[in-house]
Amino acid sequence: MRTAGGYRSRGLGKTIDWSLVICWLIMILIGWVNIYASVHSSEPSSIFDWNSRSGKQFVWMASALVIALIVLFAIPPRFYEGFSVPIYIFVTGLLVAVIFLGIEVKGSRSWFEFGPIRFQPAEVSKIATSLLLATYMSQLGYRIGRMKDFIITALLILLPMGIIVMQSETGSALVYVGFIFMLYREGLSGWLIFMIGMAILTFILTLTASPFAAILVLISVASLCICLYSGKFRWWLFLCVPLIILFAFLPQLMQMLVEKMVDAETIAAIADNVEGVEMPFIMKIEPLHVLLGATVLSLPFVAFQAFRERNTFTHLSIISCLAGIVLVFSTNFLFNDILQDHQRKRIEVLLGIKEDPTGVGYNVNQSMIAIGSGGLTGKGYLNGTQTTYGFVPEQSTDFIFCTIGEEWGFLGSAFVILLYVFLIWRIISDAERSREGFTRIYGYCVACCIFMHLFINIGMTIGLMPVIGIPLPFISYGGSSLWGFTAMLFIFIALDRNEKKYF
């Protein structure tokens, strides 16, 4: 092959990462046959029947292949970097427009409808955001540690995310959180991820255990970090650990003390709300208040010590810890007043606060039954009873993994997951190998999006995550999603190929 400059470029076979293409092909085929399996009993027909979902999916697959070819061969790779800004603006416009012009599907306005074809701009917005992020962050002199750069980066992510939340598609918005891993790779402090993790942990602990437990864990972690940072791990082991254990048993200790000091009749009377019985002082003390008191008293010493040592880390830790405590006390407010009803219920069911096997919990329960009944090797293709008989909702879209789990068993599901791990791993490796920041950052964005979809979707079907309706990339039924992910992946393959071409 000759190019304009007269250089010999390397051939197609050597420049395209064929492992990614094959991986993609296997996945869409897995999706196709399982979509057929999931609907075949209610719509017994050929896998190619245009009226059934498997037939439609075949059309989507064929068109996805066309898209892939266009991306690979028709569009020059330089186009993406050059046009990332207009693409981003255009797609953001679509996101806003869909709120007003879109049709309503299950309570959210995120779909455009053109005759028989439905299209969800959120799927494209992931690509647009990734492209713009890659363009912006690969500029010369960009440093994520600089405040201005960081804020603009954050805004680029938060803008589409916010609009999608306004479409009531919280699940799709959640995917954007995944970009944090890309930011981490590009130099964002790991503490940010750590603190987000801690905030989620605190939130869950407050809801499932108690504010007391949440605060105790917060303080333990904060003290461990401070001690580790200033090389006083022994201090932590011999001073903090015993204190933490003591506080862990504080509620029980105080209960014992109360039983020793107050006679049983008074306790019973207070429990029965009998009037005129004065509550003894010891019973008025809450363990939580004791813990808070101890924390507040010890803070100045730690802070003073840090001041003497000019240790900013300790100060920041203390501030984060205090912020965490504030979060503990605002958890109830956040949970009850900010979250929407159905979201709250899903979280309650996931955390086991409320059992609801017929309502919100129904989907998860049936999905786990379907997957669990697969056993080691599964019931065999088309032999599933749970998914095909309609026990599992959304069986070909969001819950497609149930069909895989039931009919192909543990081996089949583990294979699918390992396939994803391979795909993501491969994308990251390719991204790392590339010499251009743009390709690397874009590659990481693709990896993050696929990872978030994978973890949230499968986590939901096996009860690890609340029910969040987002599709499983390449496998779930649906044109929008398949096209979106195919385009996203093949843009990366094209970028990657472009680099290999000339070196």
485/472 Cα distance (integer angstroms): 10
**Minimum CB distance to other proteins smaller for 338 or for 414:** 414
Q: Quickly tell me which residue has 């690890």 as its tokens.
A: 464
Stated as kind and residue range, the H or E segment containing 109 is: strand 108-114
**Minimum CB distance to other proteins smaller for 72 or for 369:** 369
CB of 441 to other proteins, least distance (A): 13
CB of 472 to other proteins, least distance (A): 12
232/228 Cα distance (integer angstroms): 6
* Sequence-ordered list of residues with C-beta below 8 angstroms from that of 309, at least 6 positions apart, any chain: 230
Cβ atoms of 176 and 129 closer than 8 Å? yes
Token representation of residue 289: 């208040």
For other proteins, the binding residues (CB under 8 A) are: 41, 181, 184-185, 190, 368-376, 385-386, 388-389, 391, 405-406, 409-410, 413-414, 417-418, 420-421, 424-425, 428, 432, 451, 455, 458-459, 462-464
CB of 104 to other proteins, least distance (A): 26
Q: What is the largest CA-CA distance in the chain?
A: 100
**Minimum CB distance to other proteins smaller for 360 or for 428:** 428
**SS3 assignment, position 142:** coil
CB of 463 to other proteins, least distance (A): 8
Cβ atoms of 84 and 131 closer than 8 Å? yes
CB of 440 to other proteins, least distance (A): 10
* Sequence-ordered list of residues with C-beta below 8 angstroms from that of 149, at least 6 positions apart, any chain: 142, 143
Q: Torsion angle, CA of 21/22/28/30, rounded to 10 degrees?
A: -160
**Minimum CB distance to other proteins smaller for 122 or for 371:** 371
**Minimum CB distance to other proteins smaller for 170 or for 366:** 366
**Minimum CB distance to other proteins smaller for 194 or for 249:** 194
DSSP for 189-238 reads: -HHHHHHHHHHHHHHHHHHHS-HHHHHHHHHHHHHHHHHHHTT-HHHIII
**Minimum CB distance to other proteins smaller for 82 or for 187:** 187
Question: What is the C-alpha end-to-end distance of the chain, expressed in Å?
Answer: 15
**Minimum CB distance to other proteins smaller for 90 or for 410:** 410
248/368 Cα distance (integer angstroms): 35
CB of 369 to other proteins, least distance (A): 4
CB of 352 to other proteins, least distance (A): 15
**SS3 assignment, position 380:** coil
**Minimum CB distance to other proteins smaller for 183 or for 306:** 183
DSSP for 62-87 reads: HHHHHHHHIIIIIS-THHHHHHHHHH
CB of 52 to other proteins, least distance (A): 16
**SS3 assignment, position 8:** strand
**Minimum CB distance to other proteins smaller for 47 or for 318:** 47
CB of 434 to other proteins, least distance (A): 12
CB of 357 to other proteins, least distance (A): 10
CB of 410 to other proteins, least distance (A): 4
Give the Å distances, CA to CA, from 256 to 283, 376, 422, 487. 11, 49, 55, 65
In 3D space, the residue among 153, 110, 81, 207 whose CA is nearest the CA of residue 499 turns out to be 81
Q: How many other CB atoms sit within 10 Å of the CB of residue 114?
A: 7
CB of 360 to other proteins, least distance (A): 16
**Minimum CB distance to other proteins smaller for 365 or for 486:** 365
Radius of gyration from C-alpha coordinates of the chain: 27
Q: 406-441 b/e with 16+ CB inside 10 Å = b?
A: bbbbeebbeebeebbeebbebbbebbeebeebbbbb
**Minimum CB distance to other proteins smaller for 92 or for 403:** 403
